[in-house]
Amino acid sequence: MLIYTELKKKPSRFLSVTGLTVAEFEALLPSFEEAWKANIEQQIEKQTRERKIGGGRKPVLDSGEMRLLFILVYFKLYPLQETQGILFGLSQSQANEWIHRLTPILRAALGRQELLPERDPDTLKEVLAEYTLLSFTVDGTERRRQRPLDSEEQKEYYSGKKKPTP
């Protein structure tokens, strides 16, 4: 089972399963916990409770560190929910519930720190203009495609290769 306190002692393993260094994780944690508290308050306002707050089973993901670790591991590795549950001592259905519950909270936390990726293609030129020292390349491979039967039209799609690569 993955436990934050044990995993943070091994920085290279922590980086490989979360995509963040321990310092980056700890910098994101306060925003994540604020987003978690805001989410809890929003849920309390929406529903009438039959039990007092804190009633019921205690969650396995009982701390902000464990919740953030859970969702980061999921998005870094994309394991099956069954596997994600095994990693954190949950059933598949509980893993599914936590994934759906924590995803918007992670998005809100990243938004608070202005770390969300740029999604608007209209502003791409502005974003790239800010980073003049970086160079960007498009990595691609040639793929087979259906070419027209007419020999004149085929010439437009001819790449110069004689045989497909294995």
pTM over 0.75: no
pLDDT, residue 153, reads 83
In a domain, 47, yes or no: yes
Report d(CA 135, CA 51) in Å as an integer.
57
In a domain, 159, yes or no: no
Neighbours of 68 (CB within 10 A): 26
In a domain, 156, yes or no: no
Q: Which domain holds residue 55?
A: 4-112
In a domain, 127, yes or no: no
- Number of folded domains in the chain? 1
Q: In this structure, which amino acid lies at residue 61?
A: L
In a domain, 8, yes or no: yes
**Tens of pLDDT along the chain (166 residues)?**
888 889 999 999 999 999 999 999 999 999 999 999 998 888 877 777 677 767 777 888 889 999 999 999 999 999 999 999 999 999 999 999 999 999 999 998 888 777 766 667 777 677 667 766 666 666 666 677 777 888 888 877 776 666 666 5
Report d(CA 145, CA 112) in Å as an integer.
44
In a domain, 58, yes or no: yes
Question: Could you tell me the two tokens for 123?
Answer: 């502003």
Residue 18: Cβ-neighbour burial (10 angstroms; 0-12, 13-18, 19+):
buried
Report d(CA 127, CA 111) in Å as an integer.
17
Provide the residue count of the chain: 166
Report d(CA 128, CA 149) in Å as an integer.
41
